[in-house]
Amino acid sequence: MRALVILTLLAVLVMAVTCYESHESMESHEYLNPFLNRRRANDFIQADTRLRAITQERIRERSKAPQEHQRELCEDYYPCEMYAFRHGYAAAYKHYFGRRRTK
């Protein structure tokens, strides 16, 4: 009988030690509200997506077609852009920048 009481007390003691909720576990905000809203749940994903998008944009900038470079140059110069609205970007580039010769 004495062994049963000691075993029971030992079991209660082990249970109290393992089931004790410390103050550190109460500090977590997840203790009170374990669910996140949609915006906070996706916060950690957006940073990676933005970084990947920036990297892809930098790769595309390095490998642009010559026509794209010509179009951007024409868009930066207002008379060329107005000419391009009537005649197209290829004709506008040729009209404004095609006659230039580099030495």
pLDDT digits (tens, 9 = 90+) for 36-53: 776 676 666 655 667 777
- pLDDT (average), residues 17-38: 66
Q: What is the pLDDT of residue 53?
A: 78
What DSSP character marks residue 30? G
Token reading at 56 = 């892809």
Query: Is the pLDDT score of 63 beyond 80?
Result: no
SS3 state of residue 28? coil
